Chain A
């Protein structure tokens, strides 16, 4: 059993809350648009053999959005500073959804501090043409349609009316930050596909088989742009396989991370 510690990393005036847990080789975890994942069961399972470093992106979890922040590139450079300040060596870089895009942006800059890369139901590229909706427009979907696209198990859908005001405001703030980082070009960087060849470390893509936000076909398109990358599809899971199938997710992560 490992305990979590919360620290604040200060980077040139931007304070980034970070949860550390476990011991072992470092794993930098970048969460997606739904906010921090440090409280989820899979974290506990992984932390028995790795040290997880889980920062919260500015704007999420009730933190302020820095005045000069306009988009994902600002996060990329913030984390390049964070990675330097932590002096990470041979770390595993893991990103979920928007955090997967962020991880890819970091990796194409420099993989020097990382040994492996894991992208989970990640966004970041646009495989199709102008008329193709490659990534569901999560900001224009009704709540019901968004739930259908997100979850394999519809019973996991969040119930807003039952939440406290504080919880709802955090979700609302998370959505503001999510929109800021992903609005236009929507959830992708048109240049990224021309840079992904620079990723020279073993890369695993984990995907929920029933993800309706970005389908496994999207995952395959992303895989094909990263040399030697492998796509691992988890059945009975949607956009969050680490929540819907935590045991399977952990097993596939550990197999790749320890291999």
Chain B
């Protein structure tokens, strides 16, 4: 198992949520104090550097026009980390290539980071959440097609070394592509793509890339990972290597269960502060008509994120792993067995008002007491054996958390 420390770099010092319509897109930036922002940027960079020192890997991302994520240009932060860190793999998940007009520029930025870090880049591509549409001003219809065309252009740019090539696609045009630098890793940095359904997972699997899933929980994880494994088998004729699958959850480890759960409550800021009105959560062309219609009726948040801010519920769904090191390991192991195994754990381990010290205390407990066991778990991975374990566990919507953490009372 490889673990990836992740924070979305929130700017949490906001007025009462009742005083604004949305935390995204149209929240006036008068609420952003540059001096406070400078301190926060440095704190977040320090957290990532601490992750490197603890032997964890690093993941970052970007969002636009939002207080939930202060980083509108993830490559800039990753460029700093390429210089400041020594060992960590550097994952960007990811570049919103469906919303960016110049894939060649993305190829250049990624190659620079890969060279500067001496081959530590892992390069993710994402379609982006619906509220990225207004800031990007890009029509989201056929966004997945755009993502894959950008992907094709970028990987071609990374792997072409004999002078310019021509690319005139449906969405992107570049007639003299010849990037300097070229990537450090050969043939190119590992590629990750996010996936949210069996169908999207199959497309990632066909290309053999790492598929990343965010907060799908027990209700959805099997269909997505099964879709990947089937797609991989169909395309490559072999079982999915465990390092091709990645899962992201909110994780907090405490010395005591109480400490672990209190930390997890702070992580729920991700869910509780995500106030977004329908016109930004449901822009035309992003969701399929049935989904868009359900959202118009008010049946679905459309954010792709679970909406509950109840910790017990989120833990039962497999979106939050929290408690003592033993409990956190048990919760991850149970989820791992249920979904058939995954080799990458993306850890949303800081949010909202969680302090530097609180974050590092949890990271330290994780890296010293949970991580070694997870590495051992995946080191013994056998696809056939794993499927036997998985098949023995029936489909569930939520697990009974009390079976895993006997002292869990809420």
Contacts and interface: CB of A to CB of B under 8 A. Distances in A.
B365 interface: no
Interface string A58-89: 00000001000000000000000000000000
A165 B138 CA distance: 28
B241 interface: no
Contacts of A165: 293
Interface stretch (A99-107, A120-128, A167-175, A211-219): A167-175
Nearest to B26: A140
Contact of B284 (A160, A161, A179): A179
Of residues A143, A165, A172, which shows the largest number of chain B Cβ atoms within 10 Å of its Cβ?
A172
B290 A169 contact: yes
Interface string B123-155: 000000000001001110100000000000000
Contacts of B175: none
B284 A175 contact: yes
Contacts of B382: none
A141 B279 contact: yes
B137 A184 contact: yes
Interface string B290-334: 101100111000000000000000000000000000000000000
B292 A161 contact: no
B277 A180 contact: no
Contacts of B278: 142-143
A171 B139 contact: no
A93 B54 CA distance: 71
B296 A139 contact: no
A161 B287 CA distance: 19
A140 B285 CA distance: 13
Interface in A167-197: 168-169, 171-173, 175-176, 178-180, 183-184
B280 interface: yes
B141 A179 contact: yes
Interface string B13-30: 000000001000100000
A interface residue count range (under 10 / 10 to 19 / 20 to 34 / 35 or more):
20 to 34
A171 to B, nearest CB: 7
Contacts of A183: 139, 285
A243 B319 CA distance: 49
A139 B289 contact: no
Contacts of B196: none
Nearest to A175: B284
Of residues B25, B280, B287, B297, which shows the largest number of chain A Cβ atoms within 10 Å of its Cβ?
B297
Nearest to B21: A142
B283 interface: yes
A161 B296 CA distance: 8
A142 B296 contact: no
Given A160-B296, A161-B298, A179 B289 contact: no
A179 B285 contact: yes
B289 A180 contact: no
Contact of A139 (B21, B279, B293): B279
Contacts of B284: 139, 172, 175-176, 178-179
Nearest to B137: A184
Interface string A148-174: 000000000000110001001101110
Contacts of B285: 176, 179-180, 183
A27 to B, nearest CB: 29
Interface in A124-147: 139-143
Contact of B280 (A65, A140, A178): A140
B289 A160 contact: no
A169 B289 contact: yes
A140 B133 CA distance: 10
Contact of B296 (A140, A168, A178): A168
B297 A172 contact: no
A20 to B, nearest CB: 28
B279 A143 contact: yes
A140 B139 contact: no
B297 A160 contact: yes
Contacts of B292: 169, 172, 175-176
B139 A180 contact: yes
A142 B282 CA distance: 11
Contacts of B134: 139-140
Contacts of A179: 139, 141, 283-285
Contact of A172 (B137, B279, B289): B289
Contacts of A160: 296-297
Contact of B141 (A161, A172, A180): A180
A212 B141 CA distance: 27
B137 A168 contact: no
Nearest to B293: A168
A217 to B, nearest CB: 25
A168 B279 contact: no
A161 B13 CA distance: 36
A18 B219 CA distance: 44
Contacts of A169: 289-290, 292-293
Contact of A176 (B21, B280, B289, B296): B289
Given A142-B21, A165-B293, A169-B290, 9 more contacts: A142-B277, A171-B293, A172-B284, A172-B292, A179-B141, A179-B284, A180-B141, A180-B285, A183-B139
Interface of B: 21, 25, 134, 137-139, 141, 277-280, 283-285, 287, 289-290, 292-293, 296-298
25 contacts: A139-B284, A140-B25, A142-B21, A142-B278, A142-B279, A143-B278, A143-B279, A160-B296, A160-B297, A168-B296, A168-B297, A169-B289, A169-B293, A172-B287, A172-B290, A172-B292, A172-B293, A175-B292, A176-B141, A176-B289, A178-B284, A179-B139, A179-B141, A179-B284, A184-B139
Q: Which 7 A-B pairs have the closest CB atoms?
A: A179-B284, A168-B293, A172-B292, A183-B139, A175-B284, A172-B289, A169-B293
